Amino acid sequence: MSEVANKVVNQQVILKELEEFEISLFMKREDQIHPFISGNKYRKLKYNVLKADEQNTQTLLTFGGAYSNHISAVAFAGKEFGFKTIGIIRGDELGRDLDLTLGQNITLRLAYDHGMKFKFVSRSDYRYKHTPEFIEELKNEFDDFYLVPEGGTNDLAVKGCKEILKDDDGVFDVICCAIGTGGTISGIINSVNKDQKVLGFPALKENFLHKEIEKYTTDDKNCSLIRDYHFGGFGKVSVELITFINNFKKETGIPLDPIYTGKMMFGIVDMIKKGIFKKGTKILAIHTGGLQGIDGMNSRLKKKNLELIYK
């Protein structure tokens, strides 16, 4: 997998509706690193897995929601690198009938098939997951493990994300990245040169991410958060967004996920159309992956009788 990670391509994005604006837009296809370990999740896990190995720990334990790209990534990484994995999953109702849950949720199904063991906890308990008391309880239940935080962000994750940009990417004026916890963009901020601007697109409604990013970056002055494209919150979508994702795929061949990269690209295209970037600007958007989440989203859209995302 590290072979593939070293050979990620920047693919030019050509859209008819952007022709007149004379902006050059590329996507870094980190999604192609692995079909299930989202590009950025691979980067975030890399040094954590090495650390767990160094500590002779046999088990990775982490937290996530039922459709989480991170849960999926940890399960696959565990299988690939020889660790047992435990997922602490939000929603105790999901644990009542595991077969039913696995029949309805492809993210958990695949994680399970890759050997992940689950502990389902109530939404209220889940809120305390990072407290010492909760961790202590987990230690009693599961013995020794290497803890990967929810979303995978820690210092080692940020270190891994510093490897996303390569020397050749110095030609771009603007680097764009979707944000969940802020780990990925922090690595990018730490690796850009001083003339480059970083734009972050939060996938959730928030006013705290700039603080999270500050924790992991030495100098984040070259970064701005664009808070207009969360579509109502984490995991929320609109018909307009789904139509955009489908048209984008048709026109460019690049699949986008509805939680992160779809929202970011919608935002970039909208900003270009509004004339926010000056002529000749070179933009590189990071395709962080997340494509495993499309099936889960489609089953939600189907229930509401809405247009599905083509694959």
Ligand X SMILES: *Cc1c(COP(=O)(O)O)cnc(C)c1O
Q: Which residues bind ligand X (CB under 6 A)?
A: 38, 40-41, 69-70, 151, 153, 178-185, 257, 260-261, 288-290
- List the one residue out of 287, 281, 280, 284 whose CA is nearest residue 262: 287
Angle, vertex CA 31, rays to CA 287 and CA 54, nearest 5:
110
- Pick 95 or 300: Cβ nearer ligand X: 300
Residue number with the smallest Cβ distance to ligand X: 290
Task: Write down the least CB distance from residue 32 to ligand X, Å.
Answer: 13
- Pick 196 or 292: Cβ nearer ligand X: 292
Question: What are 248's two structure tokens?
Answer: 């984008």
Task: Write down the least CB distance from residue 251 to ligand X, Å.
Answer: 21
Task: Write down the least CB distance from residue 44 to ligand X, Å.
Answer: 6
Task: Write down the least CB distance from residue 138 to ligand X, Å.
Answer: 22
- Pick 261 or 298: Cβ nearer ligand X: 261
- Pick 265 or 271: Cβ nearer ligand X: 265
Identify the burial level of 292 via C-beta atoms within 10 angstroms of its C-beta, where 0-12 means exposed, 13-18 middle and 19 or more buried: buried
Burial 210-248 (b: 16+ CB within 10 A, else e): bebbeebbeebebbebbbebbbeeebebeeebbebbbeb
Task: Write down the least CB distance from residue 233 to ligand X, Å.
Answer: 15
Residue labelled with tokens 């950025």: 40
Residue 180's SS3 state is: coil
Residue 88's SS3 state is: strand
As a whole number of angstroms, the distance between CA 43 and CA 41 comes to 5
- Pick 48 or 181: Cβ nearer ligand X: 181
Task: Give the up-direction half-sphere exposure of residue 65: CA atoms within 13 A in the CB hemisphere.
Answer: 9
Q: Which residues share a beta bridge with 25?
A: 283
Task: Write down the least CB distance from residue 153 to ligand X, Å.
Answer: 5
Task: Say if CB 59 and CB 145 are below 8 A apart.
Answer: yes
- Pick 21 or 184: Cβ nearer ligand X: 184
Task: Write down the least CB distance from residue 100 to ligand X, Å.
Answer: 26
- Pick 10 or 72: Cβ nearer ligand X: 72
